[in-house]
Each structure stands twice: as structure tokens, then as C-alpha cells.
Amino acid sequence: AQTVTQSQPEMSVQEAETVTLSCTYDTSESNYYLFWYKQPPSRQMILVIRQEAYKQQNATENRFSVNFQKAAKSFSLKISDSQLGDTAMYFCAFMKHARGNEKLTFGTGTRLTIIP
């Protein structure tokens, strides 16, 4: 079974600063996907960024980037130039790369507050 651990329950940062959210996972699988989802107060989960385990290059989406360390089973999210709209719960999630097994295993989340 897979587990995902987010060790920072809450974080806050000043607007325009950079913040890094941590995530570690445990799996015996060699091929899988990792995701960061954002859940604002509206409750809708929104995909922020995705990483395929077989890709060595770290994924980047505008102000969001990841530091994927496969050997260490670490998958941190860096938010640059943080904005007020980034305030939300952030969940790290794991999915096996296996047809017919597309379930997400989530971490407990990090509540991020951007301070004006």
C-alpha cells in the first residue's frame, strides 16, 4: 500500500515571497504519478501540477514547480511570487501507473495562507 506524508499542517508567507511545501511518499512501485492539488475555500480540488515518475526533469507550471527526488521519495512544491489567490489547502497525491487502478492516495494537506 502507498502512503503520502505532508509534515507541515500549516504555513504562511508574505505576498510575493516564495514558499515550499513538503511531501514524502512510500511505495514499492517503480512507475507512478505524483500530483499537487489545491483546494480553496470553494472546496473544489484543482490540479496544480503533475509529475510522471519516469521523467527525471522536474515539472513546472508558471509560478509552480516541483523538486522530485525519486530515490528519496520526496516531492516538494515551490510557489514563486506567491499571490493572495494561492491561499488554500494543498494536497500531495500518488497514483499507480496501472490501467484499472487509477485511484489517488492523498496526504493530509498543508493549509497555506498568503499574507497581504
Partner 1 sequence: KAGVTQTPRYLIKTRGQQVTLSCSPISGHRSVSWYQQTPGQGLQFLFEYFSETQRNKGNFPGRFSGRQFSNSRSEMNVSTLELGDSALYLCASSPLTGANTEAFFGQGTRLTVV
Cα atoms in the 13 Å half-sphere on the side-chain side of 116: 2
- Tell me, residue by residue from 1 to 40, as one string, x for binding to partner 1 by CB under 8 A and - for no binding: --------------------------------x---x---
116 binds partner 1 (CB under 8 A): no
Specify the residue for cell string 513538503: 22
Q: How many CB atoms lie within 10 A of CB 100?
A: 6
50 binds partner 1 (CB under 8 A): yes
Among 51, 75, 107, 114, binds partner 1 (CB under 8 A): 107
Find residue 94's DSSP bridge partners.
Answer: 34, 105
61 binds partner 1 (CB under 8 A): no
Query: In whole angstroms, what is the distance from residue 28 CA to residue 43 CA?
Result: 32
76 binds partner 1 (CB under 8 A): no
Which one of 14-22, 56-64, 75-83, 97-105 is the stretch in contact with partner 1 (CB under 8 A)? Answer: 97-105
Q: Are 35 and 92 in contact (CB under 8 A)?
A: yes
